[in-house]
Amino acid sequence: MTDTNRRLFLQAAVALPLGAVPAMASDRAASGNGDRLQRDPLRPCYHFHPRANWMNDPNGPIFWKGCYHLFYQYNPEAPVWGAPHWGHAVSSDMVHWSHRPVALAPTPGGPDQDGVFSGTAVVTDGRVSMMYTAVHRAPLDKATIKDAKPWPLRETQCLATARDDSLDVWDKRQSPVLASPPEGMLVNGFRDPSPWRYRGGWLAVLGSGRPGLGGAILLYRSDDLLNWEFVKLFAERAEDAALDPWEVWECPEFFPLGDRHVLIFSTARKAFWQSGHFDEQSLTFHPERSGILDYGDFYAPKTQLDADGNRILWGWVPETRSDAENRAAGWAGAMSLPRRLTMDSDGRLIQSYLPALSTLRSRQRVFGPVLPERLSLASGAAEIQIDVREARADFGIEIADRDGSPAIISIAWFKDRPELLWIDGRPLAVVPGAGDWAIRVFIDGSIVELSLDGRAMWTRRFYYQGPQRAPAIRTHGAAGNHMTMRTWDISTAVA
């Protein structure tokens, strides 16, 4: 559950009765307007999203018994944020998805009666459990979200366990397993638990913030997932850094990668990473490098291990439209494409798209070594790969929703500053080498995902201003360079 949308929802003062949601509520919600949704040129066809209505954060992704399960924040009632449930989908390859019944819904009278917020999947005693944040109304002195309207809310951490290997039906513990923040600590937010195995027991990080001090991440320890003790402040904003006094570091996760550990968290509408070394004796993380996971519209990421033990990253791609526009559309939000995480020798995070995405390709076109100045794509669902070798002259590449319109996203290189690539006019000193780059772009309805050698990622929302369904590519200065461009049409991947 993200802070931006939490505040929007709470300030709206909408009080809806939150009960159990019947199975496949998303199917029925979409049944009356399915044809209209399918015809919407803005709606993605291979980025995962529910059949209708609102989605946000990825929750508890897991590979279990030969199947990938993706859970996510979901409102089955409307295409705007509210009534947080956990939607559920399954896949054999993390690319082609089928919808399943709603996994978790608020329980009337329970600790999650006002919302099932974000959390993490773990395996214990041969069964899958979810540790998640539950929300209910509370007196001001007991609340962890004190500025909520029309009433303050208390966040607690709860546990649910799947009845069988399909992960369709869950049994919730009636009481929270972590009922309050550290004694004596005034917090601004207390949510998004992420536990992991540690020396026969468990450690977990939680997202939080301290009023006037900025975002923070709390570390807890448990022997059995049921009884937790506070260990320490695991991470916090530097004293000399600019801050929002009400800031919360949300959706934290901590995991090993290569010979280092990585911490990720989200705040200020961006998702951040830190890499460094973890002292297992003192339970202290020593960050050495840091960066942004995605420079565009990307938030609240969550990771999982795939069948081969690779670390896979998911993120929420939010809309930038108004609630009124989302209601008119009937849907809002999508999941990013899955990205494999690796680490280079200097501790910098590398993100690469899964090879399985190539199964969606059809009708390849190849251009080069001189690229056309204008190229209209045949479809609003496409993949583009541009390889630049030994650049010698200034060049620019733009993706626009049609010829003559402003760029959706732009890339530029200038020979007098060869160490930089410019994205939307902003310099990025992240690509090694002098003039050699691999640029990969995925276009899907209203989403563009762009990768620069996996070292910089940029996800962008755009909205056609007319009836067109396919964008255009424009190049400048390509004649002075050796460049190859391949394009593919991409097929639908969500059932």
Say which amino acid occupies 247: E
**Helix, strand, or coil (residue 324):** helix
Do 120 and 143 contact (CB within 8 A), yes or no? no
Q: Find the angle CA(463)-CA(465)-CA(471) to the nearest 5 degrees.
A: 65
Rounded Cα gap, residues 193 and 186, in angstroms = 18
Which ranges in 362-410 belong to alpha helices (H)?
A: none
Q: Which residues pair with 272 in a beta bridge?
A: 265, 292
Token pair 């904003």 is at which residue? 237
Strand pairing of 299-305 and 349-353? unpaired
Distant-in-sequence, close-in-space partners of 229: CB < 8 Å, separation ≥ 6: 220, 221, 222
Q: What is the DSSP letter of 249?
A: B
What is the CB-side half-sphere exposure of residue 250 using CA atoms within 13 A? 27
Max CA distance (Å), the chain:
68
- Other CB atoms within 10 Å distance of the CB of residue 353: 18
Q: Which of 3, 35, 40, 57 is catalytic?
A: 57
**Helix, strand, or coil (residue 435):** coil
Distant-in-sequence, close-in-space partners of 415: CB < 8 Å, separation ≥ 6: 391, 392, 393, 394
- Give tens-digit pLDDT for 214-258: 999 999 999 999 999 999 999 998 776 666 888 999 999 999 999
Q: In three state form, how does the secondary structure of the chain look?
A: CCHHHHHHHHHCCCCCCCCCCCCCHHHHHHHCCHHHHHHCCCCCCCCCCCCCEEEEEEEEEEEECCEEEEEEEEECCCCCCCCCEEEEEEECCCCCEEEEEEEECCCCCCCCCCCEEEEEEEEECCEEEEEEEEEEECCHHHCCECCCCCCCEEEEEEEEEECCCCCCCEEECCCCCECCCCCCCCCCCEEEEEEEEECCEEEEEEEEEECCCEEEEEEEEECCCCCEEEEEEEEECCCCCCCCCCCCEEEEEEEEECCEEEEEEEECCEEEEEEEEEECCCCEEEEEEEEECCCCCCEEEEEEECCCCCEEEEEEECCCCCHHHHHHHCEECEECCCEEEEECCCCCEEEEECHHHHHHEEEEEEECCCCCCEEECCCCEEEEEEEEECCCCCEEEEEECCCCCCEEEEEEECCCCCCCEEECCEEECCCCCCCCEEEEEEEECCEEEEEECCCEEEEEECCCCCCCCCCEEEEECHHHCEEEEEEEEECCCEC
Nearest Cα residue to 147 out of 18, 73, 245: 245
CA separation, residue 106 to residues 22, 356, 486 (Å): 12, 35, 47
- For residue 57, indicate whether it is catalytic: yes
First to last CA, the chain: 26
Token pair 């450690």 is at which residue? 203
**pLDDT value at position 435?**
63
Rounded Cα gap, residues 468 and 377, in angstroms = 11
φ, ψ dihedrals at 483, nearest 5°:
-135, 140
φ, ψ dihedrals at 194, nearest 5°:
-135, 90
What domains does the chain contain, in order, with CATH numbers?
3-353 (2.115.10.20), 359-490 (2.60.120.560)
Which two structure tokens, joined as six digits, stand for 488?
């593919």
The secondary structure of the chain in percent helix, strand, coil, rounded to multiples of 5, reads 10, 50, 40
**pLDDT value at position 4?**
46
Using 70 as the pLDDT threshold, list the residues of the chain that sit under it.
Answer: 1-33, 240-243, 403, 430-435, 466-468, 495
**pLDDT value at position 129?**
98
Token pair 């995405």 is at which residue? 357
Rounded Cα gap, residues 38 and 490, in angstroms = 16
Mean pLDDT rounded to a whole number for the chain: 89
- pTM of the predicted structure, to 2 decimals: 0.93
**pLDDT value at position 33?**
67
Strand pairing of 53-64 and 331-332? parallel
